[in-house]
Amino acid sequence: MLKTATQFSIFLVNKPGILTTVCDALADRKINLSALTLMDSVEHGVFRIVAEDVPKTRMVLASLNLPMTETEVLVVEMPNRPGSMADVCARLNGNHISIKYAYVTSGSAGGRTIGIFKVDNLKKAMRLLDSRKPGRRERIVVKMERGGRAR
């Protein structure tokens, strides 16, 4: 799966109960979050979420009267294995696409995980990652035994 999604960045003052208020409001309206991250700084926290129902999420967040922004992000389904994130980053970097930030969902072992990428050229990134070319770690490698036979 490769798509774009709306990400909401909600700016939270650093005091007890603010994150709970946001999460409760989303839960009360039965809004399912596909991905989230929370970053802390001295002045405020930034709660970034990707939700399944964008219009309803927008309405709930607006009702809380908290500062927020919306941005389009890249959503990439990846195998949940070592090197998956490196593959995506290498493909983007190798084509001069800057990654501003990224975070991933937790996935089940051996299953799939979702990576959220804020990139400087969304259309180019979509074209690149949607191509059927393998990533740098997805190439088939034939190991040779001694004597020159393939295993």
**What is the CATH number for 100?**
3.30.2130.10
Would you state the pLDDT for residue 144? 45
Place 134 in a pLDDT band, splitting at 50, 70 and 90: low
Q: What is the pLDDT of residue 138?
A: 43
Phi and psi, residue 81, nearest 5°: -150, 160
Most confident option among 5-14, 36-45, 123-132? 5-14
Q: How confident is the model at residue 108 (pLDDT cuts 50, 70, 90)?
A: low
Taking 80 as the threshold, does the pLDDT of residue 91 lie above it?
yes
DSSP-derived 3-state class of residue 56: helix
| Better-predicted residue by pLDDT, 48 or 146 | 48
Q: Which domain holds residue 53?
A: 1-151
H or E stretch including 55? helix 54-63
Computed over every residue of the chain, the mean pLDDT equals: 87
**Nearest-10 Cα torsion for 91, 95, 100, 101:** 0
C-alpha distances (whole Å) from 147 to each of 110, 142, 143, 150, 151 are: 34, 14, 12, 9, 11
| Model pTM score | 0.81
Count up the domains in the chain and report the number. Answer: 1
pLDDT tens for 110-121 read: 688 899 999 999
Handedness of CA 7, 68, 107, 142 (dihedral sign): positive
End-to-end CA distance of the chain: 32
Lowest mean pLDDT among 57-71, 110-124, 126-140: 126-140
Residues 118 and 104: their CA atoms lie apart, in Å, by 12
Q: Extract the tokens encoding 20.
A: 């709970």
Distance CA 91, CA 136 (A): 8
Of the two residues 11 and 81, the one the predictor is more confident about is 11
- State the pLDDT confidence band at 1, using cuts at 50, 70 and 90: confident
40: exposed, middle or buried (Cβ count in 10 Å: 0-12, 13-18, 19+):
exposed
DSSP annotation of 147 reads T
